[in-house]
A and B are shown apart, each in its own frame.
Chain A
Amino acid sequence: MGSRSDAEFTDYFAGRVVPLRRFAYALCGDWHTADDLVQLTFVKLYQHWRRARPESLDAYTRRILVNAFLSHRRDRRRETVVAEPPDTPVPQVEPGGDTGLGRALRALPPRQRAVVVLRHLEDLSVAEVAELLGMAEGTVRSQTARAVDALRRALAPTKE
């Protein structure tokens, strides 16, 4: 990869790092993990930079990030199984992360969370989400409906 391609990569990075970080945060609910996911995504993208097609670059980048998120979830699940529980639980509270929406997002299964974030934050169509996640379009619709229902309940004002 020559310096010209590196310059193009840097330009792409500059244009996409903020929206990708928001996307990653919506998936994982933790800014530090979001940074890790974004860094991993761009490093992987760099490996394929020469072959990546410009017209599908954003879709490709999103796919890397979603796969990194889902793999990260699997790794964490494995860690949880073998790890000793801490003596004193220390909740990790992030700015904005402990809102009703944040809690409701984190309560969704990871793939369902990815579906609703792709549809409602990234504004992807049902077909685009289906292709990105390797799901049937009908599954995307039903997963979106369930997730939206759960999130709307979380957003609804509570009656005192």
Chain B
Amino acid sequence: MDLDTALREYTDGGPPTRVTSAAVLTAGRRVRHRRRLTVATGAVAVLAATGVLIANIPGDPAPVQPSGPGWAALDPQPFCASDQQADRLTCYLQTEVSRRLPGATFHRRSTAKAGPLQVYRDGDSYTAAALVADEHGIGAIGFSVTPATSPEAIKEELCDPPVCSERTGPHGEPVTVLRAGSTRSYQHQLVNVRMYARGAVLFASATNAPGDASPPPGEAQVLEQQDVTRPDHPLSVDELVEILAGLTY
């Protein structure tokens, strides 16, 4: 008997299934309801934190401002003097980001292995991240460079417009853009930009809901469960594409 037939015979029969579409729909709706409750609870928490200011100032809430030590402007010069690959990338990223966010201060992300926008090796990739604060509030940005053999590496799975879109960079580089959350001010926003150039996937991400905490092992960080701390993400998609297009490594 050939293996295909043997496998089919092996999986024939069995007791009647306990799974019904009604049970699945009930469980699915319960999960969806729980997720909505979580989002609503998060929104209430944000309102509770900013409620007084909202009550006093018509329009948008006051920006969340940084507190505690560790916030400072970026100083790329020491990295620009080095010929190390990671330092050269740090020099470029810190210079380009500072230029686009004048007056902003930066802080190390608790999940990063180096200081704000300081590039380090993480497996095959070079990566860097930072919390960023300016007059609009606090957001988070991150970048990485990972070797890849094909432009297919930047394709997002199961992701259709308007959440995902494709475009090209300034030199015709293929780019995918994923927007998660909302496009409205002071609602959860996250954008991931992937560009394929020079044999690597160049990645940039920005969000207005930094949630600078490590999720429990095996669990993804859920955007809607983080506090929104500025009206929109700190760098636009066009700016992220520009920065990625200039990365040399």
A130 within 8 A of B: no
User: Which of B19, B25, B27 is close to A10, meaning CB atoms less than 8 Å apart?
Assistant: B25
Q: Specify the chain B residue showing the minimal Cβ separation from A148.
A: B3
Known: A13-B24, A95-B15, A123-B4. 17 other contacts (CB 8 A): A1-B32, A17-B19, A18-B17, A21-B17, A25-B11, A26-B10, A35-B17, A35-B18, A39-B24, A47-B32, A53-B158, A53-B160, A60-B158, A99-B10, A105-B10, A117-B7, A148-B3
Is B1 a contact of A46 with CB atoms below 8 Å? no
User: Which of A39, A94, A123, A152 is close to B27, meaning CB atoms less than 8 Å apart?
Assistant: A39
Q: Please give the residue numbers on chain A whose beta carbons come within 8 Å of chain B beta carbons, in ascending order.
A: 1, 6, 9-10, 13-14, 17-18, 21-23, 25-26, 31, 34-35, 38-39, 42-43, 46-48, 51-53, 56, 60, 71, 94-96, 99, 101-102, 105, 116-117, 120-121, 123, 148, 151-152, 155
Is A43 a contact of B21 with CB atoms below 8 Å? no
**CB proximity of B143 to chain A, nearest CB, Å:** 23
Is B11 a contact of A13 with CB atoms below 8 Å? no
In order of increasing CB-CB distance, the 6 nearest A-B pairs are A46-B28, A22-B11, A42-B24, A13-B21, A121-B7, A31-B14
**CB proximity of B181 to chain A, nearest CB, Å:** 14
User: Which of A13, A25, A51, A105 is close to B160, meaning CB atoms less than 8 Å apart?
Assistant: A51
Report the Cα distance A31→B21, complex, angstroms. 18
Report the Cα distance A1→B8, complex, angstroms. 36
Q: Specify the chain A residue showing the minimal Cβ separation from B26.
A: A43
Is B21 a contact of A95 with CB atoms below 8 Å? no
Which chain B residues lie closer than 8 Å to A42 at the CB level? 19, 21, 24, 28
Which chain A residues lie closer than 8 Å to B27 at the CB level? 39, 43
Which chain B residues lie closer than 8 Å to A43 at the CB level? 24, 27-28, 31
Chain B 218-239 per-residue mask, 1 if CB under 8 angstroms from chain A, else 0: 1000000000000000000000
Report the Cα distance A38→B18, complex, angstroms. 10
Report the Cα distance A94→B31, complex, angstroms. 32
Q: Specify the chain B residue showing the minimal Cβ separation from A11.
A: B21
> Given A38-B19, A42-B19, A101-B6, A21 and B14 touching (CB < 8 A)?
yes
Which chain B residues lie closer than 8 Å to A105 at the CB level? 10
Report the Cα distance A96→B25, complex, angstroms. 31
Is A101 a contact of B10 with CB atoms below 8 Å? yes
Is B158 a contact of A52 with CB atoms below 8 Å? yes
Which chain A residues lie closer than 8 Å to B23 at the CB level? 39
Report the Cα distance A9→B29, complex, angstroms. 13
10 pairs, A vs B, C-beta closer than 8 Å: A13-B21, A17-B21, A22-B11, A38-B17, A39-B19, A47-B32, A53-B160, A101-B6, A101-B7, A120-B3
Q: Specify the chain A residue showing the minimal Cβ separation from B11.
A: A22
User: Which of A26, A35, A48, A52 is close to B11, meaning CB atoms less than 8 Å apart?
Assistant: A26
User: Which of B1, B8, B14, B21 is close to A14, meaning CB atoms less than 8 Å apart?
Assistant: B21
Q: Specify the chain B residue showing the minimal Cβ separation from A30.
A: B14
**CB proximity of B171 to chain A, nearest CB, Å:** 29
Is B3 a contact of A10 with CB atoms below 8 Å? no
B159 within 8 A of A: yes
Report the Cα distance A21→B13, complex, angstroms. 10
Report the Cα distance A89→B96, complex, angstroms. 65
Report the Cα distance A95→B14, complex, angstroms. 7
Report the Cα distance A123→B4, complex, angstroms. 9
**CB proximity of A13 to chain B, nearest CB, Å:** 4
Which chain B residues lie closer than 8 Å to A47 at the CB level? 28, 31-32
Report the Cα distance A39→B23, complex, angstroms. 8
> Given A22-B11, A25-B14, A121-B11, A155 and B6 touching (CB < 8 A)?
yes
Which chain A residues lie closer than 8 Å to B32 at the CB level? 1, 46-47
B163 within 8 A of A: yes
Which chain B residues lie closer than 8 Å to A18 at the CB level? 17
Report the Cα distance A14→B1, complex, angstroms. 31
